[in-house]
Amino acid sequence: MVELEAASLFRTLPPAEWRELNKIAEPRQSSAGQEIFREGDPGDGIYVVREGLVEISALVADNQRRVLSQRGPGEIFGEMAVIEDRPRSATAIAAKDSQFYFFPRAEMLALLQHSPGLSFNILQEVSHRLREFDRLHLQEVVQAERLAVLGNFARGIIHDLKTPLTIIGLSAEIVCAENATPEKRAQAHERIRKQVYRINEMVSDILEFTRHNQSKTARKPVNYSQFIAEILSELRAEVEAKSCKLELENQPPAANVNLDSRRLLRVFVNLLHNATDFMPEGKIFLRFIANEKEIITEVEDTGPGIAPQIAETLFQPFVTHGKSHGTGLGLSICKKTIEEHGGKIWTRVEPKHGAIFCFSLPVAK
């Protein structure tokens, strides 16, 4: 049980003001579960909990009641409606048998007018409540955004997995059919192989997207020209498998770059896949621009270019446009990898050109 003088709002006040408070304080009590006031009621006064526990709740979306806070011994509630002279914005219910000090609004306002200490204490209390409410609201917004991202992720993955799994199932039936010709079985085997590869690519994207930042010690100085020469045949095979061609516009610089070869190869593969997904056939050009500080690599295709409606969100997770498959993680993985290497990635637009993706890597010192 907390006496009036020990309440947080009043403990710094001089004795003369305690006596004034005692004169206007009205003792009240409520049984567990009893409503003290309801939303919309007149803001007729301030309460201080002497003993017990009070839950402050309000109606939120879909008329669901939610507990916003709890008030224990020595704490006040109901102050906002009194200060603002507006109806109650929340409901107070005794969570257990409770006793209170009640201060009528008119008498409390009169006391506030000639007590700077009490006014300052109430201002501090209101400020603390607003800060706490903002913090909780921010947590809820972040949590809601996380759940929305998770929902988009789950929907995208389920949608993208259903198609290859359906194809695998139908192809497996053909392989097992007694009357299937060798040619049909070979075609079914090839369809299954392609769909397994497709699923593997999606799983790789997910694992890459969810991995933690790589430490700098995992990278080592690599001659960029040699690196491009080593991966070029693999990149050409990726592109030619989709009836496209890959061309070098100029030779890459021979400067050293601190990089993880496997992960940077993944950046090239993702950018090339992104280009070939929009071109039934066409060309992809690699060009390189270097100075003393960095190497810029540009990947340009002869496709339709970047859709204006996704230009601003291009590197965000789960963003896709005009594609019938994919997790929407490819470009966000590219961004994450390049930034972990100390570089930047962006797009460049030129009239009558396809999509142009550019990324920079710092030259090793």
Quick one: tokens of 101?
């000090």
* Measured distance CA(122)–CA(46) in Å, rounded: 11
Token code pair at residue 52: 């017990």
pLDDT of residue 363: 95
Name residues whose C-beta falls within 8 Å of residue 114's C-beta, 6 or more positions apart in sequence.
none
Query: Tell me, what's the pLDDT at 215?
Result: 46
Instruction: For strands 26-30 and 98-104, give the pairing.
Output: antiparallel
pTM for the full model? 0.50
How high is the pLDDT of residue 91? Answer: 93
Sheet with strand 45-51: strands edge to edge: 26-30, 98-104, 45-51, 76-77
Residues 6+ apart with CB under 8 A from 227: 252, 257, 259, 261, 264
Q: Give the residue ranges of DSSP H helices in the chain.
A: 15-24, 79-84, 105-113, 116-176, 182-210, 224-240, 261-276, 330-340
The tens-digit pLDDT sequence of the chain (365 residues) is 677 777 777 778 888 887 888 888 999 999 999 999 999 899 889 999 999 999 998 887 667 788 888 889 988 898 876 777 788 888 999 999 999 999 998 888 888 877 887 777 777 777 777 677 666 666 666 666 666 656 666 665 665 677 678 888 888 888 888 888 889 888 888 888 877 876 776 677 666 666 655 544 478 899 999 999 999 988 888 788 788 999 999 999 999 999 988 889 889 988 998 888 878 789 999 999 999 999 999 999 998 888 777 777 788 766 665 554 555 677 888 898 899 899 999 998 888 889 999 999 999 98
